[in-house]
Structure formats: C-alpha cells, structure tokens
Chain A
C-alpha cells in the first residue's frame, strides 16, 4: 500500500457469527440432515470458517461429527493465474480419510469474486474423488463473476466496484481478538 486506504466495516464479529449460524441451518435444511456431509474449507480463511460451520452443525444435528467431516482443500496448484500472479506456497490439503466419493461436499470460502478460485477447487476436488454433489458456502459474495459459478449459501451480498477490495479479518488467521473480527471494504 502506498497511500493509506479508506476502509468501511460492513460486517461485525456478531454479524459474521449470525451469518454462519444461518448458513449452518440452511445446509441442514438443503441436505435434509447431515448424512455424508463434508465441509471443505479453502485456505486460508475458508478453513476456520468451515471449522466454525462444523461446530454449529454439530449443535444443530448431534449425528454430525466435525472430527470426520471437516477438511481443507488447497487450490494453489490448480489456479489459472499462476503465470501472472506468481507462485504462492501451497497450504495443506486434508480430506477425511474415508474419502469424498459419494458424499456431499460443501466448499467454504470467505469471499466469492471472479469465481476462479472455485473453478480451481472443483478441478482439485475431482482429483480426490467423485462427490455425489458439491455445494458452495461463502461469507461474502461481492459480485463480478467471470465464470458461470454461484454460491448456494451466502452470508452477505456486498455490492462492490472492481477498484475496491474486500478484507475478511478473522481471529484465527489475522491474530485478532474474537470480538474484533470484521469484514471491511477497502477503497
């Protein structure tokens, strides 16, 4: 950053928690339960979000076991912009040891923007197995899709311009206090 950017808070810690609670209920409703359900976070910020969704699902439906139904899926090596945006060190991919064949995988990410990350995630997922269905849950949908991809569960739709950036600041990743978490728009 060469100049100090202007930021506006669009979600507070409480808003984020309420949005995740609603998404958890939506997932149970849409799947008619949590049978064969796998929550798969996309590093980095999708992973803690998936863990929180998992904890909420376990509260709603006691048969859901977060220990065997949570995963992370790194998409670095599947991106189509490696040549222009450069090499990032991949994050760990950890999927349930039972595999993903025949399950319903809910991909979890923080911000849905161009859709290219999700395209990469779908490619990555197909290298690990053949899920019965793949769904997408995001905390923020900021528009400007470049691919025919949409989210099944959205925490908040935030209209943005392409010049703006959306920052999701989470306790686990950004080293904040839990009540200081927020989603901001950076102009």
Chain B
C-alpha cells in the first residue's frame, strides 16, 4: 500500500543509469501539462482509493445525460445478469435435490426397508425350517437363501451410495460384519439338525438372538437414517427460489423504469434493445415460477401419494413378517418365555404376535386410506382379507397348542393347506404388489417434477445474457444520438 514511491522519487543523478529507463512513467507529467518541471519536483499527492476515484468519476459523469445513460445501462445489465446467475444457481440446487430424491435417497430408503425385510424374512424362514425338523422344505430353504441374497446385494448398493464417514456407513459396516456371522450360525444349526442333535436348535436360538437384538435394530436404524435423508432432499427441492424471483421482479421493474424514463425524455415509445431485454427477462421469470411450481407440486404428489404410501406399506409388511416370526417362535419356544401384563401371564412370543398384528391392521387401514386409485387399493384390500383369515386360523392353532395338541398346532401353522402360512404368504404377496404400484406412482410423479425443471438453469442463464445484450444495445443506441 504505502510502498516507497518508485516513480516520483528523485533519480540519483548519474548513478544506475541502466535501471532508469524502466522507472519513469512518462505520460504522467505530460497529462499534467503546465507543470514545467520534469519528474520529481511536485510533492507527491496521497494516492486515493480506486473506489473513491470511481465515485468521483461517476459523480462527474452523472452530471451529463450520456454519463447517466452509461450508468443506467451498466446497472440494468448487472441486474439482469445477476437475476440469471441466481436463477441458474438456485434451480440447479433444486433440480439436483429433486434428482437425488428420485435417483438416490428414495431408492436408498427403499433398499434399507428391503434390507430389513429380507433379513426378517430369512430369519422367519430359518425358524420355519427348524419347526419342520431335519426335512426342511424346499420353499423354506429358498426363501431363506433369497432373503440372505437380497440383503447382501442391497447392502452393497447402500454402501456404494453412502458417504464414507456417515452414520449410515457405520451401520452398513456393522450389518456387513453380522450377516456372515449369522449365516455361519444357521449353517451349523442345519448341519446339526441333519445329524439329529438338539444343539442345532441351540444354534438357531443363538442366530435368532443375534438377528433380533443386533441385526434388525441396525437395519431399522439404517432405514430411519435413509428416510431422514429422503425428507432432507425433499426439503431442499421444494422451497421457492425467493432470491431469484425477487431479483427477477427487480430487474423487470428497473427495465420498465428505464423505458419510461427514455419515453419521457425522447417521446419515443419503444427502444428495441430494452424491449427485447424485458421480453427475455419476463420469459425467464415466468419459466422460473411456472417450472418450479409444477416441479414442486409434482414432488409434493410424489411424497403424498408415493413416499407416504410406501412408508406405510413397508411398515405393514415388516409388521406381518415380525408377526410370522413370532408365530413360529411361539411353537419353537413351546411356552418357554412368558410375559406378565398386569395380572395375566402371556406367552411372550404370542403377546408380540398380537402386537405385530395390531400394527399390521393399523398399517393396512392407513394404506387403504392413502391409496388413491383402484390399482393401489385392490392389493391392500386383498391383504386385509388375508389378515382376517390369518387371525382366525392363528386363534384355532393357538387353541390346539393350549390344549397340548402340539402336532396339530404345528400343522396349522407350517403345514400345507389351511395353515396360517398361506395367509401370511397372501399378505406378503399383496403387499409386494401394492409396494410395486406405489413405487411406480412415486417414480412417475417425482420424474415429472424433476423434468419440469429440466433446462431451467441453462435457459435462465441464456435468457439473462440475451437480456443483458438487449440492454447494452438499447442504451448504446441512445448514446449514439449524442455523438
């Protein structure tokens, strides 16, 4: 800032001749014509800031019409470009968030729900296999293997999409560690079962404990984390781009004022450049408001009719899986665990079964309320029917068990025709249908929402540049009248 002045210091006479030519800024003394002394003699004026100089120059310019026009032109161009830039920036943000909703956070939240579901499914299948004894049926084995496979696949996908040090990543790592452990325990249980040793059952209990106490809670954590992320992405995509809209309105107002001013001074109605600029800015603003509103309403739809239904259905499906697991465990444990509620002693697993069924009931009612078309309602209605039948059959299976007819009770739960397994499978299949339908609806609405913002950032930028060019041309035309 305040360096020893290079140009104004007196050159040491004779000395350092070669350095001299670089130093003296010749034009300066020339401009200050009249001061006949070459170089050094006037006392160096304190240098002023560029801003202050600029203000001075502006003040000087504002006294003449061309100067004023120049300032107005510059301000208008600046305003229009700022409007374009802010619009591009804000809509890019929102488009990216909408894209995340569609392509990242919703699939991830769905995946997390699938991880939970397939883990619970595998565990339920494993306990059914145990109930069936060494002769595990093919369906229960397939079901178990499918559950494990799905969980493993979705875990990889979730891992690829999570940030390295996020809580999701830690949960996924934990699940990844537990899954082979669990599988190992189940395989040991199967081997011992085939040899006829009851220690197989002990392994199954241990595996079940690991699933219930460590894996499912972790999967549930993952699901709620991903759901929170989904909500956050919705939160980023939906708010109106107020800054861009405000700048747009301001730019339009300024353009209108400039034209009014020009009309008053020249009595000419139209200035082509300014009119073009106004048109471009108006289109950009309209595009912004309409595009974003459409996107917003589509996204809102995708949330109300897609995500909310999906959440409710996922939860209902998980409740039905838990209920099935507890129904099996009631028979596996054979009265080993009890729970005291008030004065009454209940079988712990049957108590949980009733609770799960309550949750399923509520979930299905809610899903039916949220279903907005026939295709969405139909599978839910089917699930409700299956659930009612399940409850009925479960009650009679329980009665057999209470009466000590264990084998009959077992047949009524895992046997073929007329067993509760049919109802559970029915509920599960219907809910899978309903989930598929709602997923489609979500995709449609969210896709429409994202598409409504397609091109908006680029379009806004281009229009803003056009508008700025219009301003410059229009003002330039007026300026040329002063030459």
Are A and B associated in one complex?
no
List residues of chain A with CB under 8 Å of any chain B CB: none
List residues of chain B with CB under 8 Å of any chain A CB: none
